[in-house]
Amino acid sequence: MKNFKNATLCLVLILAAVYNLQAQEDQKILITIDPESDGPQISRHIFGQFAEHLGRGIYEGVWVGPASAIPNTRGIRNDVVEALRELNVPNVRWPGGCFADEYHWRDGIGTQDERMARINASWAGRPEPNTFGTHEYFDFLKQIGANAFISANVGSGTVKEAADWLEYLTAEGSSLALERSRNGHPDPYPVAFWGIGNESWGCGGPLTAEEYLTELKKFSNFSTNYNPALNTRHIAVGPDGADFAEYTEVIMNAWSTKSWAWNIGGISLHRYTRNGWPPNIPASGFDNQQYANVLAETVGMDSFISENEKIMNRYDPEGNVAIFVDEWGTWYAPTEGTDPGSLEQENTIRDAIVAALNFNIFVRHAERVRGANIAQMINVLQSLIITKEEEMILTPTYHAFRLYVPFQQARRLSLAYNSGIYAEGNVELQRLDAIAAKQENGHIILALTNLDPVRSVTVEVMMKDRMLKQATGETLSAPFMDSQNTFENPEQVKPQVLNPRMQNGKAEITLKPHSVTVILLN
């Protein structure tokens, strides 16, 4: 009898668990958007890119040379340019990364025969031919319609070298401007952002915060933009996600009492999702717990930004100095069969979720976060594009960027919803993550991310004090939580058109597991 009672109790508990799970699946989440809330503008620069001389990021990814059989324009891949145009890329950070602090710009100008071949000491001693240099970079930017974000060499360079580079780029009438003209570009180049060093606490130094501050003042003072068509903003080095928090404190304290001789427009933050060092998370073939662990570390970006915001608010309550998260993304174990030093990794629907979560965090901090750059654009880390000779595939991360294009320069709106819970082992996260914004034309956009890799979720969307008339959108989902696009199956993960059901002034949408959805509401 006792065994019978125990068996009956177990059955009841199992049925209750199944019932609760079903109830959670069937329960609708109501999202209410306030269309009149007046949030900050979402800078398009939070959707920036990062292209470093690392592995196959530049060579094979962007540059194949004008003599290549791969279709190109002046050596730059046509297929890559066409894909990037779809993203309305706001800026591309170049030439690094760690490579920036060993890069000497004169090595990469003049005819190809005049270029100085080097060894890339930052990335496993690989040859660096410098066939892709300053002029090729600006040609690439023009082809994709992006702004320049240049990282100047503070670590192994000099103040004069950096000052000469910016004069070469932006001046008219000087000897350096005439040299630029002889090299094929008579008009000054527009430089939107001038990064003063990179990770100066590590591969770009290593310097203490006080030591870096001394360099920052000098480089800022003497790095002059001579092109009045565009105000170049200086970006200082800040901390990474684990250490060197004192950088923000030291720099902002000095900035608050600075003289006229130097200034900055932003502080750089770096934070990767990598679950420790060295990175060993599998990029594919992972289990439910590994999936959850990656998302849990990703959402830690929110508290990292908040900690730095608090420091900056003490010294700069008006928000003059922006945060630029100019390195972020997943960093996994390298793809089997590739050179580990090239940092190539597979890209799955999980990475699209990571991208969406980061976008949403940046938007929630739009008052201070006005720039961000994913690491990296092509063939490296959480890349948007992967190339193999003449072939190219678009990753799930690329599609996440494309879905979020409507948020560029829109105004953040307030919204209210009960996100629900997604739990796996000792990880507990919100099940649904959402942001909303209003475009200049008055259209409202809503981004919805279902973190749960197993359960779908149905949401009802309504406007405060208004009736919805129409809703259209796209959703990015996949058969499995590690589904990816490959050269054999390049479209396994791609957005699908979604037409929400309209009823009583509300839009009803069912979100598939591990999915990213963007809806346009009228």
Confirm if 475 and 517 have CB atoms less than 8 A apart.
yes
pLDDT tens by residue, 40-78: 999 999 999 999 999 999 999 999 999 999 999 999 999
The region, left, alpha or beta by phi > 0 then psi within -120 to 50, assigned to residue 60 is: left
Instruction: Provide CB contacts within 8 A for 484, sequence distance 6+.
Output: 284, 346, 347, 348, 349, 395, 396, 492, 493
pLDDT of 25 strictly over 70? no
Would you list the domain boundaries of the chain?
29-39+412-521, 44-409
- From CA 45, how far away is CA 88, in angstroms rounded? 10
Averaged pLDDT for residues 404-420? 97
**Does the pLDDT of residue 387 top 70, yes or no?**
yes
What is the C-alpha to C-alpha distance for residues 174 and 171, in angstroms, rounded to an integer? 7
Residue 428 contacts residue 289 (beta carbons within 8 Å): no
Cα angle value 305/255/208 (rounded, 5°): 70
User: Could you report the per-residue pLDDT of 76-133, keeping only the tens digit for each?
Assistant: 999 999 999 999 999 999 999 999 999 999 999 999 999 999 999 888 889 999 999 9
Question: pLDDT tier at 358 (50, 70, 90 boundaries)?
Answer: very high
Give me Rg for the CA atoms of the chain: 24
pLDDT for 257-286, tens place per residue? 999 999 999 999 999 999 888 888 899 999
Chain centre to alpha carbon of residue 108 = 27
Task: Report H helices in 206-327.
Answer: 209-222, 246-256, 288-299, 301-315
Query: What local confidence, expressed as pLDDT, does residue 243 receive?
Result: 82
Helix (H, G, I), strand (E, B) or coil at 409: coil
Cα–chain center distance at 335:
21
Q: Is 327 a catalytic residue?
A: yes
Angle at 159 between CA 156 and CA 164, to 5 degrees: 110
Q: Which two tokens stand for residue 150?
A: 């240049």
| Helix H or strand E encompassing 26 | helix 2-26
CA-to-CA distance for 249 and 239, rounded, in angstroms? Answer: 10
Residue from 102, 215, 327, 460 carrying the catalytic annotation? 327
Q: Which of 128, 199, 344, 460 is catalytic?
A: 199
pLDDT attached to residue 17: 43
Q: Are 414 and 39 in contact (CB under 8 A)?
A: yes
Over 60: is that where the pLDDT of 439 sits?
Answer: yes
The helix or strand, by DSSP H or E, that contains position 463, with its residue range, turns out to be strand 457-463
Q: Which amino acid is at 503?
A: Q
For residue 390, what pLDDT is reported? Answer: 97
Angstrom distances, CA of residue 42 to CA of 243, 504, 518: 28, 31, 16
pLDDT value at residue 242: 73
**DSSP letter (8 states) at residue 251:** H
- Write down the mean pLDDT value for the chain: 94
Strands (E), 11-78: 28-34, 49-50, 72-73, 76-77
Average pLDDT over residues 422-448: 97
Q: Nearest to residue 371, comparing CAs of 49, 38, 40, 39? A: 49
Confidence of residue 241 (pLDDT cuts 50, 70, 90): confident
Paired with 150 in beta bridges are 94, 194
Which of the 8 DSSP states describes residue 188? Answer: P
> What phi and psi values does residue 176 have, to the nearest 5 degrees?
-65, -35
Residue 12 has pLDDT above 50, yes or no: no
Question: Which run of H or E residues covers position 162?
Answer: helix 159-170
* Nearest alpha carbon to residue 223 among 214, 238, 233: 233
| Superfamily designation of domain 44-409 | Glycosidases (3.20.20.80)
Separation between Cα atoms, residue 309 and residue 306, nearest integer Å = 5
Torsion of CA 362, 368, 370, 372, to 10 degrees: -50
Using CA of residue 8, residue 9, residue 10, residue 13, what is the dihedral sign?
A: positive
Q: Residue 169 above 70 pLDDT? A: yes
Q: How many CB atoms lie within 10 A of CB 384?
A: 27
Length of the chain: 522
Cβ pair 146, 92 in contact under 8 A: yes
317-343: pLDDT as tens digits: 999 999 999 999 999 999 999 999 999
* Percentage of the residues of the chain whose pLDDT score is greater than 90: 90
Do 52 and 480 meet the contact criterion of CB atoms below 8 Å apart? Answer: no
- pLDDT over 70 for what percent of the chain? 95
**Tell me, what's the pLDDT at 23?**
41
Could you say which architecture CATH assigns to the domain 29-39+412-521?
Sandwich (2.60)
Residue 19 has a pLDDT of: 36
Q: Partners of 391 in the beta sheet?
A: 388
Please report, for residues 78, 375, 382, the alpha-carbon distance to residue 332 in angstroms, rounded to integers and kept in the order given.
29, 12, 9
Contacts of 158 (CB under 8 A, 6+ apart): none
Alpha carbon separation from 311 to 134, 236, 246 (Å, rounded): 36, 15, 10
Pairing between β-strand 515-521 and β-strand 444-450 as defined by DSSP bridges = antiparallel
Average pLDDT score over residue span 389-400? 98
- Supply the pLDDT for residue 277: 86
Biggest alpha carbon distance in the chain?
Answer: 99
Residue 18: which pLDDT band, with cuts at 50, 70 and 90?
very low
* Topology match between the domains 29-39+412-521 and 44-409: no
Q: Any idea which of 103-112, 147-156, 240-249, 366-375 has the lowest mean pLDDT?
A: 240-249
Among candidate residues 505, 475, 2, the one with its CA nearest the CA of residue 10: 2
Nearest CA to 418 out of 400, 436, 431 is that of 431
pLDDT top residue among 486 and 465? 486
